[in-house]
Amino acid sequence: MASKFFLLALLAFSASRALASDPGQLQDFCVADKTSQVFVNGFACKDPKTTVVEDFYFSGLHMAGNTSNKQGSIVTAVNVAQIAGLNTLGVSLARIDYAPYGQNPPHLHPRATEIPTGAIPVVIHFQVNIGNNEAIAIAALSSKNPGVITIANAVFGSKQTISDDILAKAFQVDKNIIDHIQAQF
């Protein structure tokens, strides 16, 4: 009886063996080839043999940006345009410098979700420095190229202008106010 059980166990074990493996190495990175004429969603990959350390490095985050503008802020974007090694990874980040009481005006990212330090915003979001000292924020974005649409620029400074009548009715103000705002853009 024991020999039958042993033979049955040996048969079951040998029948359950399977061989599986990857046919080749997976590609760990795809450094953007910004000179390629090939059109893909993003950038084509450069030959891994031509990859250099600079493809994975950006040296600007330690430097404060110039915040002497109307908004009192400046964004230093770090995406695939600055670090070619971010290609296909689906991540980027930004440093936002604020003057005292400066703001990063209402905006959205058409190809990403933003997670700034300290908060998780909704689709249209903004940040404001409520203090009388300079401030810095770091934001992570879920895209190698998140894009940005500043709401005021899109509404009041668009190339194909939106009718004063439409804007006056939408914002429930006089057309002269709309004209004054549009003149700023």
Binding-site residues for Mn(2+), in ranges, read 107, 109, 114, 125
Dist CA 124 CA 153 (whole Å): 14
The C-alpha R_g of the chain, in whole angstroms, comes to: 27
Binding site members: 104, 107, 109, 114, 125
Dist CA 150 CA 124 (whole Å): 9
Q: Is 31 left (phi over 0), alpha (psi -120 to 50) or beta?
A: beta
The answer to whether residues 73 and 102 touch, using CB atoms and an 8 Å cutoff, is: yes
Q: Which of 134, 149, 132 is nearest to 68 (CA)?
A: 134
Binding site members for oxalate: 104, 109, 114
Helix (H) / strand (E) element for 10: namely: helix 2-16
